[in-house]
Structures are given as C-alpha cells and as structure tokens.
Chain A
Amino acid sequence: MSADSAQSGGLAITGLVKRYGTVEAVAGIDLEIQRGEFLTLLGPSGSGKTTLLMMIAGFQDATAGDILLDGRSIVATPAEKRNFGMVFQGYALFPHMSVRDNIGYALSVRKRPRREIAGRVEEMIDLVQLQGMEDRLPAQLSGGQQQRVALARALAFAPPVLLLDEPLGALDRKLRIEVQAQLKDLHERVGTTFIYVTHDQEEALSMSDRVVIMQSGRIEQVGTPQELYSRPRTRFAATFLGKSNFLHRDGRVWALRPEKIDLHVGSSGDDRTTGKILSQTYFGSVLNYRVETTEFGVLEVDVDAWRGGAALRPGTVVSIGWHDEAVVPLED
C-alpha cells in the first residue's frame, strides 16, 4: 500500500453547512481532527452528527464550507475517490459475496494483483480474528462477526481515515462492551484516524480521545471525555453526558454531578444544606437518592452502594455537602 496511514489523516473542517430547504441539518461546523485521533461525534438523533459524517464521507454535498485532508480540499471529491474507510450502520456487507470477497473488494476494484489481495485479506482476517470464516456469506455470521467483517473491509485498503456510523447499535449490551474494547485496541494498533458517530454516551466516554457534543447541527462542546464530564460548559452538555443537578446561585446556573455530593445523617462542619429523602433507587453499584433540600430544590445524590450501609428510608432527614470544585458554572 502506498498510503501510509500514520503519515496522513489529519482533517480540518471549516464553516461547514448543510441546508435542506430552510432546515439547517449542519449549521456551521469548525473542527480540527488530528491524525491518528479517535474522535467521537456524540448527540441525540437530529443533532446533525450523521449528516456531518456523510459529508466527510462524500455522500452529502456541502451547502457551504470546506473539508481539508492534510491541507488539501476534498469537498468536491466524489465519495469513491476520497479513500475513506467506512463502517455503516447495519454494516451494509455485500450479501452475495463471501467474507473473503467482501474484505478484498476495495483492493479488487483498485485492480491490485491477485496475490497482493489474498495476502492483505489474510492479514485483515487475522486482525479481526475471523480465521475459518473466509468462505461464509454474511447471512451465515453472527452480528458481532458481521461487524468485524465490516471493519476489516473498511480497513483493507489502509485508508487514512475510518468513519464509523453507530457500528455497535445492532449488538446486545454485553457484546457491545466487549467490542468497544476491541475497537479501541484496534485503533491503537492500526493508527488510523477514527471518526465515530454515536448517541451512546458510554461508548463516547470509554473509547474516544476527544468527544464532540452536537445539538441542532452545531457543536455544543469539544474536549477529552474527562474535560467534558468534569467541566461541562452548557446545560445540554451536562445532561447529555452523564447526569447533573442544576443549582441557581448568584444569578447563574451551576452544574453538580450527583456522585460529587456527600450525604449523611446528622450534621458535620461543611454542610451546605439539609433535606429530606423523597425516594431511593438501587442500581447495584450505586444507590440513588432524590432529596428535597431547603435551599436548592430537589437534588439527585449517588452514593456508593457498598459504602452507604443500609439504604435510608424516604422521609429521613439528611445533611448535604460538596467541595467547592464540584460545582461548575454554566454559560446559559
């Protein structure tokens, strides 16, 4: 392969807009994506994340703006000339072709020699651990195996950028967590830039180098998972990534994560307020309380279940406190 994926794959998106009639699906996006980065576009349905991905892939034209790959504009390049790998929602494997032919397709349409294709296919089969499945048709594979074939097919021609459109949506929860780890591991091994679209915050947090939170066609906030979780800038970012309480103080809104609140019976020095437990819900590792406080309304509090001892009954009067850095001012 001539294209060494470690040497390219940096993307710059400037002022990108996609308009359908009067609706702006993508309303002006500026984004730098480093080569080799695992970047996640996270947002609810209708946030424009999939449209943005399709524009990067070349399946949607841009109404305005530009997309640069390693400094060269690709906004007018047709999809088949962009050389971006893509894993589609539902995988979109070729149903009439064997696993081998699916994976070799990109090289075969590039008219590479037969021996090179066979060698590369074998390499990819090893990479995604599908040994022994080469001659099966997609319909004869499980969902997880199909997902791996889709990955191998998209990576076979060593693209500088791999686009993934909710690739885990069709898998059950247990398998999804397993595949998340595999994907992250794969990313580290191949060094390709990954752009990953999902509405699942857990996937976004666990795999990404950086996460882009999108809403209504705009970028709400960009940052590492830690930055986004600990310093959300807007109310939307605070609720879409994790849970949050909102405190109104000094004419501002502040975010406060439920697990950063201390809750105990009786009082201690640094209490902020007192309250009465409304309800409790058990989640295995965490006990969640809804507490009616005197100053801040109803607050959600998460307590480590193993540390909390016996669950407090509704009606119990408790004291509530938090560290100063636990509250984050929002921009709203």
Chain B
Amino acid sequence: MSRIHVTTTVNGDTVEFLADPRETLLDCLRDHVGLTGSKEGCGTGDCGACSVRLDGTLVCSCLVLGVEAQGRTVETIEGMATGGELHPLQRKFIEHAALQCGFCTPGILVAAKALLEKNANPTDTEIRYWLAGNLCRCTGYDKIIRAVQDAAAEMRGAA
C-alpha cells in the first residue's frame, strides 16, 4: 500500500514521516518518529499505555491513524518535562514510588496531566475514574493516586 506523507507537530517540533494508511499514530510515533515512550499494551484502546494529546485532547494513540495527525499537534511523554525540568507529576511519581515496572507510567502521566489541567483539585474518586482507562498491573493504584494528589497540591500552591 502506498505511503502518505504526513507533516505534524510533536512536542513542539515539526516532524515529517511516511505513513502506511493502516498504521496507527502510535506505530508512527514509535517506528517513524523514533519516540518509543508511548507504549502499546493492547492495541484496542483498553489499557491507556499509549495515551497522548492530539490538539490537546487525550486520546489512545493506538485508536488514531497516523495520517490523522496531518497538520495537528501531538504531545507525548517525551515532551512533558520542559527545559530539563520535570513536570510535578513526574517528580511526584518518583518520590511516591508510584511506579514499579514503569510500562504504564508514560500513559498515566499524560492522562493525569490532562486531568489536572481540567480539574486542579480532584477528589480521589475523580482521579480513580479519570484514570480508569489506564491499566496498571503492578501497583494496585494506591501510590499513583497519592502521587497525583501530591502533584496537584503542589501545582495549586505554585499557581
């Protein structure tokens, strides 16, 4: 199948790639753009390990075609730290031991950042429901919820 030329913005950089029209945005990010931080855990939109922002909207990049990124902006885990400074969520995940294997972590961080932009002061229940589409098999979620709460508190304090 002939490939399609795609120009898009990923983490602020203009990137170009040739996408097979059957390839997902996740495939393109990982195999054509070289950003392997987004993970494939299921390929069916159930696990959230591939979570990215597309024009600001939180999506499973395994459910978006690569060609759909044409002319749009994509934010991935690789763009979350700015100027060498970790996002508070990234710092708090390390401090709270909110990761074990770390495979789900990129998707959870991207999703949690989207939550805190929408709701700076979420309840535990709101965090749990927001992250219900991000599977973690290692932690039982307890420390993840604490890390998100702590990051939210710090970000409220800084605002």
Partners in one complex: no
Interface set of B (CB-CB < 8 Å, partner A) = none
